[in-house]
């Protein structure tokens, strides 16, 4: 994938890198030419029955010694509330296509256990099911995004699950829900029809899945006119452009969204991905190059979608993304537990910039995953939690949620002494409902500061405030013994200069400016 980031380097964050003096960049923000709204669901999360994401993460049980709110870890709930999570995907992932929802309803003590064949070979007690997930979403104001079982399930099972969750009629499934303690239906606006149907979800050919999608779509009913369900089709694995073409050609008119999965593998080798915290400059650069490949993927899949859907009615949903490293030493390989470093914060910010630069087509994204798995927001250990550098990026960037994107023109050098084309500076801008302009900046250089000369066109430049996330090392991370090693602090590196703004970005930094 060494050459894959070439297009990414040319287009990231609506910016066209051109040669300029080393260590300096120039940025023009065109506030008078607003673009599309940045869908808040780009900042979505993913919670699969995998490792300790659910059990021992979100859910500890009502009888746990860990402080909890009706079984949910209180510290985790408080942290997620602060993050303003817009949408949450569940129950998988590969787990979704072996999950039978009836096993997870009714009295907790009577629910059958299930064997998790995909992730660690553990037996789960099904104490976290439909009610627990949807009540969590309701408590935190999160849109639930439910993935139905296509791989090992049936159309009837999927149809009845949607009825159970969303129908307010005097019907068998609605009455079963009432018998289980929930009178009124939940609002479920997003339903995924299977997961990775080309792989763990059934090893299907695109033509076969397209026919299955059309069949399932027919029986996923809108029981409430005010609760129109958006149906999300299983999209491609990274650069499988034939899958996208086939799905759009055969089922594009029946779908509201098409899912894309792509992970940043630091080494580019799935068999030996690389450590989350023990790496040097070469591994840092290869990880950034691989993550910038997201730009090419979105551009090329969007072009195919444009061919069949020029009005852009179908959203591209990047519902699995993030960095995937080797697991931490001594942990279950099937639990995908990894640490989270300053490198991951940079990777998160770059991906979010890419998504925002394609706000006309990218309508959602779900980082993998929310707690204790892959590039998580939160790590837990009993009653202790750690907020990761990635959490802090999402917290800083939440002002972009639902804001109007603003075009930026960026001239930046690429990082020197590398075989990859990696822009030193990345940028994205938006205008919130309050009229404030928010500018996020990334300095990918781990060794040197970057100066950015900013010009604001179409709006006056008022007072500037800012927040920065940075660290002295690419490998810096938070631990249970040192949970505040990497966290945001006020930023004072921006100053007015005539009609513009001069910004000095420290090495390895993510900055959010409020103009």
- Look up 320 and say whether it is catalytic: yes
Alpha helix stretches (DSSP H) within 60-171: 74-83, 130-140, 155-166
Strand partners, 145: 89, 190
CA quadruple 405, 440, 58, 158: dihedral, nearest 10? 30
CA distances from 95 to 119, 179, 386, 468 (A): 8, 27, 26, 37
* CA–CA separation, 483 and 308 (whole Å): 49
Number of C-alpha atoms within 13 angstroms, CB side, residue 109? Answer: 2
Active-site annotation holder among 196, 295, 296, 424:
196
Q: Which of 312, 305, 316, 313 is nearest to 354 (CA)?
A: 316
The span from the CA of 182 to the CA of 159, in Å, is: 19
Q: In the structure encoding, which two tokens stand for residue 299, read together?
A: 């551009």
Residues 178, 182, 184, 189, Cα dihedral to 10°? -110
How far apart, in whole angstroms, are the C-alpha atoms of residue 425 and residue 423? 5
Catalytic residue among 124, 160, 296, 320: 320
384 three-state secondary structure: strand
Concerning whether 487 is annotated as a catalytic residue, the answer is no
State the DSSP code for 325: -
CA distance 397 to 511: 9
Task: Please count the helices (runs of H) and the strands (runs of E) in the chain.
Answer: 10, 25
Q: Which residues are catalytic?
A: 196, 320
């Amino acid at each position: 994938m060494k050459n894959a980031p070439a297009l990414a380097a040319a287009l990231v964050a609506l910016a066209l890198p051109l040669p300029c003096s080393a260590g300096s960049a120039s940025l023009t923000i065109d506030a008078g030419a607003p673009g599309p709204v940045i869908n808040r669901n780009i900042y979505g999360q993913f919670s699969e029955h995998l490792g300790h994401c659910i059990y021992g993460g979100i859910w500890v049980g009502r009888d746990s010694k860990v402080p909890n709110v009706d079984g949910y870890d209180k510290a985790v709930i408080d942290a997620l509330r602060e993050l303003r999570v817009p949408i949450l995907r569940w129950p998988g992932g590969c787990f979704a296509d072996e999950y039978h929802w009836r096993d997870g309803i009714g009295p907790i003590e009577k629910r059958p256990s299930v064997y998790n064949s995909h992730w660690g070979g553990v037996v789960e007690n099904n104490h976290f099911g439909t009610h627990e997930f949807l009540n969590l979403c309701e408590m935190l104001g999160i849109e639930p995004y439910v993935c139905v079982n296509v791989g090992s399930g049936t159309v009837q099972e999927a149809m009845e699950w949607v009825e159970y969750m969303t129908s307010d009629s005097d019907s068998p499934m609605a009455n079963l829900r009432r018998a289980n303690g929930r009178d009124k239906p939940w609002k479920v606006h997003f339903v995924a029809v299977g997961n990775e149907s080309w792989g763990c979800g059934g090893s299907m050919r695109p033509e076969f899945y397209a026919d299955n999608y059309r069949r399932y779509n027919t029986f996923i009913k809108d029981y409430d006119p005010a609760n129109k369900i958006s149906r999300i089709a299983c999209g491609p694995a990274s650069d499988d452009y034939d899958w996208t073409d086939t799905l759009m050609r055969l089922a594009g008119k029946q779908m509201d969204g098409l899912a894309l999965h792509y992970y940043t593998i630091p080494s580019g080798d799935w068999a030996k991905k690389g450590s989350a915290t023990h790496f040097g400059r070469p591994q840092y650069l290869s990880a950034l190059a691989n993550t910038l490949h997201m730009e090419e993927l979105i551009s090329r899949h969007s072009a195919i979608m444009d061919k069949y859907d020029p009005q852009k009615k179908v959203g591209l949903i990047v519902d699995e993304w993030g960095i995937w490293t080797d697991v931490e030493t001594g942990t279950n390989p099937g639990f995908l537990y990894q640490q989270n470093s300053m490198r991951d914060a940079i990777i998160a910010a770059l991906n979010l910039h890419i998504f925002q630069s394609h706000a006309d087509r990218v309508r959602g994204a779900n980082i993998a995953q929310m707690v204790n798995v892959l590039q998580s927001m939160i790590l837990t250990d009993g009653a202790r939690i750690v907020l990761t550098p990635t959490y802090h990026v999402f917290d800083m960037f939440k002002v972009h949620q639902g804001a109007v994107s603003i075009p930026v023109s960026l001239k930046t050098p690429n990082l020197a002494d590398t075989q990859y084309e990696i822009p030193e500076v990345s940028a994205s801008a938006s205008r919130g409902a309050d009229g404030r302009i928010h500018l996020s900046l990334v300095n990918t250089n781990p060794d040197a500061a970057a100066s950015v000369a900013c010009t604001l066109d179409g709006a006056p430049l008022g007072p500037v405030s800012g927040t920065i996330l940075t660290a002295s090392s690419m490998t810096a991370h938070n631990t249970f013994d040192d949970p505040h090693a990497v966290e945001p602090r006020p930023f004072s590196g921006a100053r007015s200069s005539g009609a513009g703004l001069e910004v000095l970005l420290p090495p390895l930094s993510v900055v959010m400016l409020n103009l």
